Amino acid sequence: MKIAVIGTGYVGLVAGACFADSGVDVVCVDVDEGKLAKLRAGEVPFFEPHLAELVKNNWPDRLHFSSNLAESIAGRAAVFVAVGTPPHEDGSADLTHVLGVAEQVAKATTHDLILVLKSTVPVGTNARVTEVVQRNSKHKISVVSNPEFLKEGDAVNDFFKPDRIVIGTDDAHAFDVLERLYAPHNRQRNRILRMSPKSAEIVKYAANAMLATKISFMNEVAELCNLAGGDVEDVRVALGSDQRIGAHFLYPGLGFGGSCFPKDLRALVRTGADLGVSMKVTQAAIEANELPVATLVKHMEQDLGGLAGKIIAIWGLAFKPKTDDVREAPALRLIAELHKRGAKTQATDPQAMETARASLEQMGLREKVLLVENEYAACEGADALVIATEWNEYRNPDLARIGGLLRSKFLFDGRNILLRETVLEAGFAYRGMGRPPL
Protein backbone atom coordinates (compact mmCIF):
# COMPACT_ATOMS: atom_id res chain seq x y z
CA MET A 1 0.00 0.00 0.00
CA LYS A 2 1.10 3.56 -0.69
CA ILE A 3 0.16 6.52 1.49
CA ALA A 4 1.13 10.16 2.01
CA VAL A 5 1.44 12.03 5.30
CA ILE A 6 1.05 15.80 5.23
CA GLY A 7 3.11 17.37 8.02
CA THR A 8 6.41 16.18 9.50
CA GLY A 9 5.84 17.33 13.05
CA TYR A 10 5.55 15.06 16.03
CA VAL A 11 2.45 13.16 14.88
CA GLY A 12 3.16 13.07 11.16
CA LEU A 13 6.76 11.95 11.36
CA VAL A 14 6.06 9.24 13.92
CA ALA A 15 3.14 7.91 11.86
CA GLY A 16 5.09 8.05 8.60
CA ALA A 17 8.19 6.34 9.97
CA CYS A 18 6.21 3.64 11.77
CA PHE A 19 4.03 2.85 8.76
CA ALA A 20 7.16 2.67 6.59
CA ASP A 21 8.78 0.29 9.07
CA SER A 22 5.72 -1.94 8.66
CA GLY A 23 6.27 -2.22 4.91
CA VAL A 24 4.10 0.65 3.67
CA ASP A 25 5.44 3.02 1.00
CA VAL A 26 5.19 6.46 2.65
CA VAL A 27 5.93 9.96 1.43
CA CYS A 28 5.98 12.68 4.11
CA VAL A 29 5.15 16.15 2.84
CA ASP A 30 6.26 19.46 4.35
CA VAL A 31 6.74 23.03 3.10
CA ASP A 32 10.02 23.50 4.98
CA GLU A 33 12.81 22.49 2.58
CA GLY A 34 15.47 22.89 5.27
CA LYS A 35 13.64 20.50 7.53
CA LEU A 36 13.23 17.99 4.70
CA ALA A 37 16.94 18.13 3.90
CA LYS A 38 17.78 17.33 7.53
CA LEU A 39 15.32 14.42 7.55
CA ARG A 40 16.91 12.99 4.41
CA ALA A 41 20.21 13.16 6.29
CA GLY A 42 18.68 11.23 9.18
CA GLU A 43 18.35 14.25 11.46
CA VAL A 44 15.06 14.28 13.38
CA PRO A 45 14.12 17.83 14.47
CA PHE A 46 12.95 16.77 17.94
CA PHE A 47 13.91 14.10 20.44
CA GLU A 48 11.79 10.96 20.55
CA PRO A 49 13.33 7.60 21.51
CA HIS A 50 13.90 5.23 18.54
CA LEU A 51 12.42 7.63 15.94
CA ALA A 52 15.71 8.68 14.35
CA GLU A 53 16.63 5.01 13.96
CA LEU A 54 13.34 4.30 12.15
CA VAL A 55 13.87 7.23 9.79
CA LYS A 56 17.41 6.14 8.93
CA ASN A 57 16.37 2.51 8.44
CA ASN A 58 13.51 3.27 6.04
CA TRP A 59 14.74 6.22 3.98
CA PRO A 60 14.89 6.19 0.97
CA ASP A 61 13.44 2.70 0.34
CA ARG A 62 9.99 3.00 1.89
CA LEU A 63 10.12 6.48 3.45
CA HIS A 64 10.38 9.57 1.25
CA PHE A 65 10.31 13.32 1.91
CA SER A 66 8.91 15.96 -0.43
CA SER A 67 7.59 19.51 -0.57
CA ASN A 68 5.49 18.84 -3.67
CA LEU A 69 2.02 17.92 -2.46
CA ALA A 70 0.50 17.21 -5.87
CA GLU A 71 3.26 14.77 -6.85
CA SER A 72 3.27 13.18 -3.41
CA ILE A 73 -0.41 12.23 -3.34
CA ALA A 74 -0.46 10.81 -6.90
CA GLY A 75 -1.41 7.14 -6.79
CA ARG A 76 -1.70 7.08 -2.98
CA ALA A 77 -4.60 5.15 -1.44
CA ALA A 78 -4.76 7.38 1.62
CA VAL A 79 -3.49 10.82 2.58
CA PHE A 80 -3.02 11.52 6.29
CA VAL A 81 -3.37 15.08 7.54
CA ALA A 82 -1.05 15.68 10.49
CA VAL A 83 -0.65 19.45 10.57
CA GLY A 84 -0.85 21.67 13.64
CA THR A 85 -4.03 22.97 15.23
CA PRO A 86 -2.70 25.75 17.49
CA PRO A 87 -5.10 27.38 19.95
CA HIS A 88 -6.84 30.69 19.41
CA GLU A 89 -6.94 33.11 22.32
CA ASP A 90 -10.35 31.77 23.37
CA GLY A 91 -8.96 28.21 23.51
CA SER A 92 -10.61 26.99 20.32
CA ALA A 93 -8.51 25.07 17.81
CA ASP A 94 -7.22 26.93 14.75
CA LEU A 95 -8.20 24.77 11.78
CA THR A 96 -6.59 26.98 9.14
CA HIS A 97 -3.87 24.45 8.28
CA VAL A 98 -6.21 21.44 8.29
CA LEU A 99 -8.76 23.09 6.01
CA GLY A 100 -6.02 24.50 3.79
CA VAL A 101 -4.42 21.09 3.29
CA ALA A 102 -7.83 19.55 2.57
CA GLU A 103 -8.43 22.12 -0.15
CA GLN A 104 -4.99 21.56 -1.67
CA VAL A 105 -5.47 17.80 -1.74
CA ALA A 106 -8.93 18.13 -3.27
CA LYS A 107 -7.70 20.37 -6.06
CA ALA A 108 -4.54 18.35 -6.75
CA THR A 109 -5.82 14.77 -6.71
CA THR A 110 -6.38 12.96 -10.01
CA HIS A 111 -8.09 9.94 -8.47
CA ASP A 112 -10.42 8.86 -5.67
CA LEU A 113 -8.72 8.66 -2.29
CA ILE A 114 -9.17 8.58 1.46
CA LEU A 115 -8.31 11.70 3.46
CA VAL A 116 -7.45 10.73 7.03
CA LEU A 117 -7.58 13.38 9.76
CA LYS A 118 -4.78 12.54 12.19
CA SER A 119 -4.53 16.05 13.66
CA THR A 120 -6.36 16.70 16.92
CA VAL A 121 -9.51 18.55 15.87
CA PRO A 122 -12.81 19.46 17.56
CA VAL A 123 -16.06 17.66 16.90
CA GLY A 124 -17.60 18.73 13.61
CA THR A 125 -14.27 19.12 11.76
CA ASN A 126 -14.80 16.00 9.65
CA ALA A 127 -18.01 17.51 8.32
CA ARG A 128 -16.28 20.83 7.56
CA VAL A 129 -13.44 19.08 5.73
CA THR A 130 -15.95 17.00 3.77
CA GLU A 131 -17.62 20.20 2.58
CA VAL A 132 -14.24 21.59 1.49
CA VAL A 133 -13.22 18.53 -0.53
CA GLN A 134 -16.63 18.12 -2.14
CA ARG A 135 -16.55 21.76 -3.21
CA ASN A 136 -13.05 21.54 -4.70
CA SER A 137 -12.73 18.09 -6.26
CA LYS A 138 -14.40 16.07 -9.00
CA HIS A 139 -13.14 12.85 -7.42
CA LYS A 140 -14.56 10.96 -4.47
CA ILE A 141 -12.65 11.80 -1.29
CA SER A 142 -13.76 9.95 1.83
CA VAL A 143 -12.84 11.85 4.99
CA VAL A 144 -11.96 9.62 7.95
CA SER A 145 -11.28 10.65 11.55
CA ASN A 146 -8.37 8.65 12.97
CA PRO A 147 -7.08 10.41 16.11
CA GLU A 148 -3.63 9.64 17.49
CA PHE A 149 -2.98 8.56 21.08
CA LEU A 150 0.80 8.83 21.24
CA LYS A 151 2.67 9.60 24.45
CA GLU A 152 5.71 11.78 23.98
CA GLY A 153 8.69 9.75 25.09
CA ASP A 154 7.07 6.45 24.09
CA ALA A 155 5.38 7.31 20.80
CA VAL A 156 7.01 4.61 18.67
CA ASN A 157 5.97 1.86 21.07
CA ASP A 158 2.47 3.34 21.31
CA PHE A 159 2.14 3.25 17.52
CA PHE A 160 3.34 -0.32 17.17
CA LYS A 161 1.37 -1.59 20.20
CA PRO A 162 -1.68 0.66 20.53
CA ASP A 163 -4.35 0.30 23.19
CA ARG A 164 -6.94 1.10 20.54
CA ILE A 165 -7.16 2.26 16.93
CA VAL A 166 -10.13 4.57 16.50
CA ILE A 167 -11.53 4.85 12.98
CA GLY A 168 -14.40 7.27 12.51
CA THR A 169 -16.14 6.72 9.20
CA ASP A 170 -19.46 5.74 7.63
CA ASP A 171 -17.71 4.61 4.43
CA ALA A 172 -17.26 0.81 4.31
CA HIS A 173 -14.51 0.99 1.67
CA ALA A 174 -12.53 3.59 3.61
CA PHE A 175 -12.80 1.50 6.75
CA ASP A 176 -11.59 -1.59 4.90
CA VAL A 177 -8.51 0.25 3.57
CA LEU A 178 -7.54 1.55 7.01
CA GLU A 179 -8.21 -1.82 8.60
CA ARG A 180 -5.73 -3.39 6.17
CA LEU A 181 -3.24 -0.56 6.70
CA TYR A 182 -3.29 -1.09 10.47
CA ALA A 183 -3.33 -4.90 10.27
CA PRO A 184 0.33 -5.34 11.36
CA HIS A 185 -0.49 -3.50 14.60
CA ASN A 186 -3.70 -5.39 15.22
CA ARG A 187 -2.65 -9.04 15.27
CA GLN A 188 -2.61 -9.95 18.97
CA ARG A 189 -6.20 -8.83 19.50
CA ASN A 190 -8.66 -6.62 17.69
CA ARG A 191 -7.82 -3.08 18.74
CA ILE A 192 -9.85 -1.36 16.04
CA LEU A 193 -12.89 0.58 17.20
CA ARG A 194 -15.15 1.76 14.40
CA MET A 195 -17.49 4.64 15.15
CA SER A 196 -18.96 7.78 13.65
CA PRO A 197 -16.58 10.64 12.77
CA LYS A 198 -18.08 12.83 15.49
CA SER A 199 -17.55 10.17 18.16
CA ALA A 200 -13.95 9.67 17.02
CA GLU A 201 -13.31 13.42 17.27
CA ILE A 202 -14.68 13.52 20.81
CA VAL A 203 -12.66 10.47 21.96
CA LYS A 204 -9.29 12.22 21.64
CA TYR A 205 -10.30 15.24 23.72
CA ALA A 206 -12.19 13.13 26.24
CA ALA A 207 -9.21 10.81 26.78
CA ASN A 208 -6.79 13.66 27.39
CA ALA A 209 -9.26 15.43 29.67
CA MET A 210 -9.74 12.28 31.75
CA LEU A 211 -5.99 11.73 32.17
CA ALA A 212 -5.31 15.37 32.97
CA THR A 213 -8.15 15.37 35.51
CA LYS A 214 -6.52 12.45 37.34
CA ILE A 215 -3.28 14.43 37.54
CA SER A 216 -5.02 17.56 38.81
CA PHE A 217 -7.05 15.56 41.32
CA MET A 218 -3.94 13.94 42.79
CA ASN A 219 -2.23 17.31 43.03
CA GLU A 220 -5.21 18.61 44.99
CA VAL A 221 -4.97 15.57 47.25
CA ALA A 222 -1.28 16.34 47.69
CA GLU A 223 -2.16 19.85 48.87
CA LEU A 224 -4.70 18.37 51.27
CA CYS A 225 -1.95 16.12 52.63
CA ASN A 226 0.33 19.13 53.00
CA LEU A 227 -2.18 20.92 55.20
CA ALA A 228 -3.56 17.91 57.08
CA GLY A 229 -0.23 16.19 57.70
CA GLY A 230 -0.82 13.10 55.57
CA ASP A 231 1.55 11.49 53.09
CA VAL A 232 0.28 11.51 49.51
CA GLU A 233 2.51 8.56 48.60
CA ASP A 234 0.58 6.34 51.00
CA VAL A 235 -2.69 7.72 49.66
CA ARG A 236 -1.60 7.19 46.06
CA VAL A 237 -0.67 3.54 46.57
CA ALA A 238 -3.95 2.81 48.35
CA LEU A 239 -6.00 4.54 45.66
CA GLY A 240 -4.15 2.76 42.85
CA SER A 241 -4.82 -0.61 44.46
CA ASP A 242 -8.50 -0.16 43.62
CA GLN A 243 -8.98 -1.82 40.23
CA ARG A 244 -11.76 0.63 39.40
CA ILE A 245 -9.22 3.47 39.64
CA GLY A 246 -5.86 1.97 38.64
CA ALA A 247 -2.37 3.28 39.36
CA HIS A 248 -1.77 5.25 36.16
CA PHE A 249 -1.60 9.06 36.33
CA LEU A 250 -1.87 9.09 40.13
CA TYR A 251 1.59 10.55 40.68
CA PRO A 252 1.50 14.02 42.22
CA GLY A 253 3.99 16.56 41.01
CA LEU A 254 4.27 20.01 39.47
CA GLY A 255 1.35 19.55 37.09
CA PHE A 256 0.89 18.67 33.45
CA GLY A 257 2.25 20.48 30.41
CA GLY A 258 3.26 19.71 26.85
CA SER A 259 1.60 20.18 23.50
CA CYS A 260 -1.55 18.16 24.17
CA PHE A 261 -3.14 18.34 27.60
CA PRO A 262 -3.25 22.12 28.12
CA LYS A 263 -4.31 22.85 24.53
CA ASP A 264 -6.82 20.02 24.26
CA LEU A 265 -8.51 20.75 27.58
CA ARG A 266 -9.02 24.39 26.66
CA ALA A 267 -10.36 23.36 23.25
CA LEU A 268 -12.81 20.93 24.89
CA VAL A 269 -14.09 23.64 27.22
CA ARG A 270 -14.49 26.00 24.25
CA THR A 271 -16.31 23.36 22.19
CA GLY A 272 -18.64 22.69 25.10
CA ALA A 273 -19.37 26.40 25.45
CA ASP A 274 -20.14 26.64 21.73
CA LEU A 275 -22.67 23.81 22.12
CA GLY A 276 -24.12 25.12 25.37
CA VAL A 277 -22.44 22.54 27.61
CA SER A 278 -20.50 23.71 30.67
CA MET A 279 -17.46 21.43 30.96
CA LYS A 280 -17.03 22.13 34.67
CA VAL A 281 -14.81 19.16 35.53
CA THR A 282 -12.45 19.89 32.64
CA GLN A 283 -12.31 23.58 33.57
CA ALA A 284 -11.54 22.62 37.17
CA ALA A 285 -8.67 20.41 35.99
CA ILE A 286 -7.19 23.36 34.08
CA GLU A 287 -7.44 25.67 37.09
CA ALA A 288 -6.09 23.06 39.52
CA ASN A 289 -3.02 22.62 37.32
CA GLU A 290 -1.77 26.02 38.48
CA LEU A 291 -1.72 24.91 42.13
CA PRO A 292 1.43 22.73 42.41
CA VAL A 293 3.98 25.30 41.19
CA ALA A 294 2.43 27.99 43.41
CA THR A 295 2.51 25.61 46.39
CA LEU A 296 6.16 24.69 45.86
CA VAL A 297 7.18 28.34 45.55
CA LYS A 298 5.35 29.13 48.81
CA HIS A 299 7.16 26.30 50.59
CA MET A 300 10.51 27.40 49.20
CA GLU A 301 9.94 30.93 50.49
CA GLN A 302 9.14 29.55 53.93
CA ASP A 303 12.01 27.09 54.12
CA LEU A 304 14.67 29.38 52.64
CA GLY A 305 13.58 32.51 54.49
CA GLY A 306 12.57 34.26 51.28
CA LEU A 307 13.77 33.91 47.71
CA ALA A 308 15.31 37.30 46.96
CA GLY A 309 18.99 36.84 46.17
CA LYS A 310 18.81 33.03 46.43
CA ILE A 311 20.27 30.79 43.71
CA ILE A 312 18.11 27.78 42.84
CA ALA A 313 19.34 24.74 40.91
CA ILE A 314 16.68 23.26 38.60
CA TRP A 315 16.96 19.69 37.36
CA GLY A 316 14.71 19.13 34.35
CA LEU A 317 13.18 21.56 31.86
CA ALA A 318 11.09 19.28 29.61
CA PHE A 319 7.47 18.84 30.66
CA LYS A 320 8.13 15.12 31.10
CA PRO A 321 11.10 12.73 30.67
CA LYS A 322 12.15 11.22 27.33
CA THR A 323 11.26 14.31 25.32
CA ASP A 324 12.72 17.73 24.54
CA ASP A 325 9.29 19.36 24.55
CA VAL A 326 9.10 22.34 26.92
CA ARG A 327 5.74 23.69 25.79
CA GLU A 328 3.85 24.79 28.92
CA ALA A 329 6.40 22.89 31.01
CA PRO A 330 5.93 23.29 34.78
CA ALA A 331 9.68 23.81 35.13
CA LEU A 332 9.51 26.97 33.03
CA ARG A 333 6.54 28.25 35.03
CA LEU A 334 8.53 27.58 38.20
CA ILE A 335 11.56 29.45 36.86
CA ALA A 336 9.38 32.44 35.96
CA GLU A 337 7.86 32.53 39.45
CA LEU A 338 11.26 32.28 41.14
CA HIS A 339 12.62 35.19 39.13
CA LYS A 340 9.56 37.29 39.99
CA ARG A 341 10.57 36.87 43.62
CA GLY A 342 14.15 37.90 43.06
CA ALA A 343 15.79 34.48 42.86
CA LYS A 344 18.35 33.36 40.29
CA THR A 345 18.26 29.95 38.61
CA GLN A 346 20.78 27.48 37.23
CA ALA A 347 19.06 24.85 35.11
CA THR A 348 19.80 21.73 33.10
CA ASP A 349 18.06 18.94 31.19
CA PRO A 350 19.35 15.82 29.38
CA GLN A 351 17.54 16.64 26.12
CA ALA A 352 15.67 19.96 26.29
CA MET A 353 18.46 22.53 26.46
CA GLU A 354 17.91 23.98 22.98
CA THR A 355 14.12 24.03 23.18
CA ALA A 356 14.31 25.55 26.66
CA ARG A 357 16.74 28.20 25.45
CA ALA A 358 14.27 29.23 22.72
CA SER A 359 11.31 29.29 25.11
CA LEU A 360 13.19 31.30 27.73
CA GLU A 361 14.07 33.79 25.00
CA GLN A 362 10.36 34.21 24.22
CA MET A 363 9.63 34.63 27.93
CA GLY A 364 12.27 37.34 28.27
CA LEU A 365 14.27 35.20 30.71
CA ARG A 366 17.08 33.87 28.55
CA GLU A 367 19.73 36.20 29.96
CA LYS A 368 18.57 35.62 33.54
CA VAL A 369 18.74 31.80 33.57
CA LEU A 370 22.10 30.06 33.59
CA LEU A 371 21.80 26.91 31.46
CA VAL A 372 24.44 24.29 32.24
CA GLU A 373 25.22 20.94 30.67
CA ASN A 374 24.80 18.59 33.64
CA GLU A 375 23.00 18.30 36.95
CA TYR A 376 26.05 18.73 39.16
CA ALA A 377 27.16 21.93 37.45
CA ALA A 378 23.67 23.31 38.16
CA CYS A 379 24.25 22.83 41.90
CA GLU A 380 27.47 24.84 42.14
CA GLY A 381 26.93 27.66 44.64
CA ALA A 382 23.15 27.18 44.76
CA ASP A 383 21.07 27.58 47.91
CA ALA A 384 18.66 24.76 47.03
CA LEU A 385 17.98 22.06 44.47
CA VAL A 386 14.60 21.45 42.79
CA ILE A 387 13.86 18.31 40.79
CA ALA A 388 11.32 19.48 38.22
CA THR A 389 11.31 16.59 35.71
CA GLU A 390 11.51 12.91 36.64
CA TRP A 391 14.34 11.85 34.34
CA ASN A 392 15.75 8.43 35.29
CA GLU A 393 19.25 9.83 35.73
CA TYR A 394 17.97 12.04 38.55
CA ARG A 395 16.57 9.18 40.63
CA ASN A 396 19.79 8.07 42.31
CA PRO A 397 22.13 11.09 42.46
CA ASP A 398 25.43 11.43 44.27
CA LEU A 399 24.06 13.24 47.31
CA ALA A 400 27.46 13.68 48.93
CA ARG A 401 28.70 15.43 45.81
CA ILE A 402 25.59 17.61 45.66
CA GLY A 403 25.99 18.53 49.33
CA GLY A 404 29.52 19.69 48.64
CA LEU A 405 28.36 21.92 45.78
CA LEU A 406 25.34 23.57 47.40
CA ARG A 407 25.69 26.49 49.80
CA SER A 408 22.86 25.07 51.92
CA LYS A 409 21.43 21.57 51.80
CA PHE A 410 17.79 22.09 50.82
CA LEU A 411 16.25 19.62 48.35
CA PHE A 412 12.78 20.15 46.90
CA ASP A 413 11.55 17.04 45.11
CA GLY A 414 8.90 18.28 42.68
CA ARG A 415 8.25 14.74 41.41
CA ASN A 416 8.66 12.61 44.56
CA ILE A 417 11.30 10.42 42.92
CA LEU A 418 13.89 10.25 45.71
CA LEU A 419 13.89 8.07 48.82
CA ARG A 420 13.39 10.51 51.66
CA GLU A 421 15.39 8.46 54.13
CA THR A 422 18.44 8.45 51.85
CA VAL A 423 18.23 12.20 51.42
CA LEU A 424 17.96 12.73 55.17
CA GLU A 425 20.91 10.45 55.87
CA ALA A 426 22.97 12.67 53.57
CA GLY A 427 22.15 15.65 55.76
CA PHE A 428 19.60 17.42 53.57
CA ALA A 429 16.36 19.12 54.49
CA TYR A 430 13.81 17.43 52.22
CA ARG A 431 10.38 18.47 50.99
CA GLY A 432 8.35 16.55 48.43
CA MET A 433 4.91 17.17 46.98
CA GLY A 434 2.18 16.28 49.47
CA ARG A 435 4.66 14.68 51.86
CA PRO A 436 5.57 15.76 55.41
CA PRO A 437 8.74 17.90 55.27
CA LEU A 438 11.83 16.38 56.84
**Catalytic residue IDs:** 260
**CA–CA gap between residue 436 and residue 200 (Å, rounded):** 43
**CA–CA gap between residue 102 and residue 407 (Å, rounded):** 58
**CA–CA gap between residue 197 and residue 359 (Å, rounded):** 36
Contact between residue 356 and residue 371 where contact means Cβ atoms under 8 Å apart: yes
**CA–CA gap between residue 206 and residue 122 (Å, rounded):** 11
